[in-house]
A and B are shown apart, each in its own frame.
Chain A
Amino acid sequence: MDFDSSQPIYRQIIDFYKRKLARGELSPGDRIPSQREYAERAQVNPNTVQRAYREMEMMQMVETIRGQGTFITATEKKQRDLQTEMAGQIMDRFIYDMRSLGFRDQELIGLIDLHLASEKGDVEK
Chain B
Amino acid sequence: MIRFDHVSKSYGRTQALNGLTLEFVDGEIIGLFGPNGAGKSTTIKMIVGLSRPDRGEVWVDGKLPRQRRESIAYLPELNHLYHWWTLKDAAAFIQDFYNDWDEHCYQSQLHFLNLDEGMKLSKISRGQLAKCRLLLTTSRRAPYLLLDEPFSGIDLMTREEIINSLIREYQEGKQTIIISTHEIDEIENLVDRAFFIDHGSIRISGKAEDLRAQKGMSLVEIMKEAFRHAEQQ
Task: Please tell me if B113 contacts chain A, counting CB pairs below 8 Å.
Answer: no
CA A50 – CA B27 in complex, angstroms?
Answer: 13
Q: Are A47 and B192 in contact (CB under 8 A)?
A: yes
Q: Are B220 and A5 in contact (CB under 8 A)?
A: yes
CA A57 – CA B220 in complex, angstroms?
Answer: 31
Task: Please tell me if A76 contacts chain B, counting CB pairs below 8 Å.
Answer: no
Q: Are A8 and B190 in contact (CB under 8 A)?
A: no
How does the 8 Å CB contact mask read for A1-20 relative to B, with 1 for contact and 0 for none? 00101111110000000000
Contacts A8-B213, A46-B170, A48-B209 given; does A3 touch B189 at CB 8 Å: yes
Q: Are B218 and A6 in contact (CB under 8 A)?
A: yes
- In this complex, which of A7, A45, A46, A50 has the most chain B Cβ atoms within 10 angstroms of its Cβ? A45
The size bracket of the interface on B is 20 to 34
How does the 8 Å CB contact mask read for B88-105 relative to A, with 1 for contact and 0 for none? 000000000000000000
**Interface hits, B184-233 → A, CB 8 Å:** 185, 188-192, 208-209, 212-213, 216-221
Task: Please tell me if B168 contacts chain A, counting CB pairs below 8 Å.
Answer: yes
Q: Are A48 and B192 in contact (CB under 8 A)?
A: yes
Q: Return the contact of A45 from the options B164, B191, B219 (Cβ within 8 A).
A: B191
Q: How far is the CB of B126 from chain A (nearest CB, A)?
A: 22
Task: Please tell me if A59 contacts chain B, counting CB pairs below 8 Å.
Answer: no
- In this complex, which of A7, A47, A50, A51 has the most chain B Cβ atoms within 10 angstroms of its Cβ? A47
Q: How many residues on chain A are close to B (CB under 8 Å)?
A: 19
Q: Are A5 and B189 in contact (CB under 8 A)?
A: yes
Q: Return the contact of A43 from the options B160, B208, B212, B221 (Cβ within 8 A).
A: B160
7 closest A-B pairs by CB: A5-B218, A8-B209, A6-B218, A44-B189, A5-B188, A8-B213, A6-B217
| A-B contacts, 17 listed (Cβ < 8 Å) | A5-B188, A6-B216, A6-B217, A8-B213, A9-B209, A36-B168, A39-B167, A40-B167, A42-B189, A43-B189, A44-B190, A45-B190, A45-B191, A45-B192, A46-B172, A47-B28, A50-B172
Interface residues of B (CB under 8 A from A): 27-29, 160, 163-164, 167-168, 170, 172, 185, 188-192, 208-209, 212-213, 216-221
Interface residues of A (CB under 8 A from B): 3, 5-10, 36, 39-40, 42-48, 50-51
